[in-house]
Structure 1
Amino acid sequence: MLNLRHLYYFWLTAREGSIAQACDILDLAPQTLSTQIATLEENVQHLLFKREGRNLVMTPMGKQVFAYANKIFDITSQLEDVLQQSPDSRSIDFSVGIASTVHKILAWKVIKPAMSIPNEVQLVCKTACASDLLLQLKQKKIDLLISDYLPHECDRDGLTAHKLLSTPMSFFYKKGEVANQMKAGFPGSLSDADFLCYGRQTPYLGKLKDWFKINDIKLNIKAEIDDSALLKVLGQSGEGFFSAPSVIAHEICDQYNVEVIGVAETIKEDLYALYRDTSMINPALEQLLNFKVQDA
Structure 2
Amino acid sequence: MSSRLNYHHLRYFREIATEGHLGRTAERLNVAQSALSIQLRQLEDRLGYALFDRAGRSLVLTEAGRIALDHADRIFTAGDELLATLHQNGDAKPPLRIGALSTLSRNFQLQFLKPLLAMDACKFSLKSGNTDVLLKDLETLALDVVLTTEVPQTGSQFQFAAQLIAEQPVYLHGRPDRLEYDTLAMLLAHEPLIVPTESVIRAEFENLIATLGIRPHILASVDDMAMVRLLAREGAGVAIAPTVVVADEIASGVLKTAAFDLGISEPFFAVTLPRKFPHPALMALLAGQGAVAERGGA
TM-score normalized by structure 2? 0.62
Change (3 A) 1:100 1:231: same
| Alpha-carbon distance between aligned partners in 2 of 1:173 and 1:243, rounded to the nearest angstrom | 9
> Relative to structure 1, is the Cα distance of residues 160 and 173 closer, same or farther in structure 2, using a 3 angstrom cutoff?
same
- Over 3 Å counting, the alpha-carbon distance change for 1:245 and 1:202 in structure 2 is same
* Amino acid of the structure 2 residue aligned with 1:109: Q
Alignment root-mean-square deviation, CA: 2.9
In structure 1, how many angstroms separate the alpha carbons of the residues matched to 2:245 and 2:103? Answer: 15
Contact (CA 8 Å) 1:97, 1:145: kept in 2 or not?
yes
Aligned equivalent of 2:263? 266
**Which one has the bigger strand percentage?**
1
Task: Decide whether the 8 Å contact of 1:188 with 1:217 is kept in 2.
Answer: no
User: 1:278 is matched with which residue?
Assistant: 275
Provide the C-alpha distance between the structure 2 equivalents of 1:233 and 1:249, rounded to a whole number of angstroms: 9
Identity %: 17
2:244 aligned with 1:244: no
Q: In the alignment, what sits opposite 1:177? A: 177
Residue 157 of structure 1: CA displacement? 1.6
Query: Retained in 2: the 8 A contact 1:117–1:283?
Result: no
State the Cα distance separating 1:277 from its structure 2 match: 0.8
Cα deviations by residue, 1:9-35 (Å, 9 ceiling, x for unpaired): xxxxxxxxxxxxxxxxxxxxxxxxxxx
Residues 178 and 159 of structure 1: CA distance in aligned 2, closer, same or farther (over 3 Å): closer
Q: What CA distance in whole angstroms lies between the structure 2 residues aligned with 1:271 and 1:97? A: 13
1:113 aligned residue (109, 115, 126): 115
Contact 2:194 2:222 (C-alpha < 8 Å) held by counterparts: yes
SS at match of 1:155: coil
Tell me, in whole angstroms, the C-alpha distance in 2 between the residues paired with 1:291 and 1:111.
15
Partner of 1:98: 100
2:156 counterpart SS class = helix
- Taking the aligned partners of 1:187 and 1:251, their CA distance within structure 2 comes to 27
Letter in 1 for 2:192: D
In structure 2, what is the Cα distance between the partners aligned to 1:156 and 1:246?
37
State the alpha-carbon separation in 1 of the partners of residues 267 and 243 from structure 2. 11
Letter of the 2:227 partner, please give it: L
Measure how far apart 1:178 and its partner are.
3.1
Deviation sequence 1:235-294 (CA, Å, 0-9, x none): 10100001112455634523782111135452121111111212332222122212548x
Tell me, which stretches of 5 or more residues in structure 1 are unaligned? 1-75
Q: Match for residue 226 of structure 1?
A: 223
CA drift of 1:154 comes to: 3.0
Q: Give the drift of 1:197.
A: 2.0
Query: Which position in structure 2 is the counterpart of 1:80?
Result: 83
Residue 153 of structure 1 aligns to a residue in which SS?
Answer: coil
Q: What is the CA distance between 1:82 and its match in structure 2?
A: 4.6
Structure 2 Cα separation of the partners of residues 256 and 227 of structure 1: 22
Q: Secondary structure at the match of 1:105?
A: helix
Cross-structure match for 1:149: 150
1:163 is aligned with what amino acid?
A: L
Unpaired runs of at least 5, structure 2: 1-78, 291-298
**CA displacement, residues 210-230 of structure 1 (integer Å, 9 cap, x when unaligned):** 112212333101122222212
In structure 2, the residue matched to 1:46 is: none
Counterpart residue type for residue 185 of structure 1: T
247 and 229 in structure 1: CA distance in 2 versus 1, 3 angstrom threshold: closer
Q: Which residue of 2 aligns with 1:166?
A: 167
The whole-number CA distance in structure 1 between the counterparts of 2:158 and 2:86 is 30
- Is the contact made by 2:86 and 2:277 (CA closer than 8 Å) also made in structure 1? no
Normalising by structure 1, report the TM-score.
0.63
**Which amino acid in 2 is paired with 1:147?**
T
Partner letter of residue 188 of structure 2?
A: L
Counterpart contact for 2:166–2:268, Cα < 8 Å? yes
| Partner-residue secondary structure (3-state), 1:98 | strand
Separation in structure 1 between the aligned mates of residue 230 and residue 161 of structure 2, nearest angstrom: 35
Whole-Å separation in 1 of the counterparts to 2:125 and 2:134: 13
